[in-house]
Amino acid sequence: NAMIGLDRYFVIAQPFQNLKRMTSSRAMGMIFLVWVWSIIWSVPPFFGYGSYVPEGFQTSCTFDYLSQNRGNILFNVGMYVFCYLVPVFVIIYCYYNIVKAVRRHEIEMMKLAEKLCEGGTRTVRMKSGDNKKSDVKAAKMSLLIVFLYLLAWTPYAIIALVALTGNRNHLNPYTSELPVLFAKSSAVYNPIIYAISHPKFR
């Protein structure tokens, strides 16, 4: 989500700094970076920093956010900051600026239309209505993407944070399993959301 947000941000909000369109090599580079980032945060448990344990109903594994040894705490703090807070910041920043850029572009187009259309008040008004619809659509889609990301990963992050602060008595298999389902469901609906929002997919 964060990488897709960055790509959309550079294309829409920074068009003059990003004149080249998406290419196969560029897409592969972005995918490679995602994999490298994932591997960086997957291997520490194999070297004594954190560990993997069964979670929830014992049907899947996750990082051990219950143990309070130094290695686990360091790993969990790192995961919380760099795998949750940083992506959230990137996503919110990118989509906020995308909405601003779309709005700014529409205002510029309106000013240009007003100059070109002598006496075309009705046409300008129609374009203004279309522009507002475009603004609303862009804003809604951006808010939806941010909301779904927060919905998917915030419960998981809260559970990990609760355990990290030592309040493990609030956790049980049910409170541990539900956030897992929320988080993993994002793999199902994210492609659908991006496909619906992208005209080429439609």
CATH number at residue 51: 1.20.1070.10
Helix or strand run (H / E) with residue 144:
helix 121-164
Residue 130 has a pLDDT of 54
Q: Is residue 74 part of a domain?
A: yes
Confidence of residue 113 (pLDDT cuts 50, 70, 90): low
Residue 198 has a pLDDT of 60
18-40 pLDDT tens trace: 555 666 787 788 889 989 998 99
**Which domain does 8 fall in, by range?**
2-197
* Greater pLDDT, 177 or 138: 177
Average pLDDT over residues 92-115: 76
Q: Is residue 202 part of a domain?
A: no
C-alpha to C-alpha distances, 170 to 21, 158, 161, 167, 173, nearest whole angstrom: 49, 12, 12, 6, 10
**pTM of the complete model:** 0.71
Query: Which letter does DSSP use for residue 12 in this model?
Result: I
The token pair at 81 is 């900051």
Helix residue ranges per DSSP H, the chain: 2-8, 24-40, 70-80, 86-116, 121-164, 173-197
Query: Which letter does DSSP use for residue 77 in this model?
Result: H
The rounded distance, in Å, linking the Cα atoms of 16 and 86 is 26
Confidence of residue 195 (pLDDT cuts 50, 70, 90): confident
Query: Is 76:160 a contact under the CB 8 Å cutoff?
Result: yes
Residue 104 has a pLDDT of 76
The rounded distance, in Å, linking the Cα atoms of 1 and 25 is 19
Q: Which of 52, 67, 77 is nearest to 161 (CA)?
A: 77
* Domains of the chain: total: 1
Q: Is residue 18 part of a domain?
A: yes
129-139 pLDDT tens trace: 455 555 556 66
* Greater pLDDT, 43 or 11: 43
* CB atoms closer than 10 angstroms to residue 174: 9
Q: Is residue 62 part of a domain?
A: yes
* Greater pLDDT, 123 or 50: 50
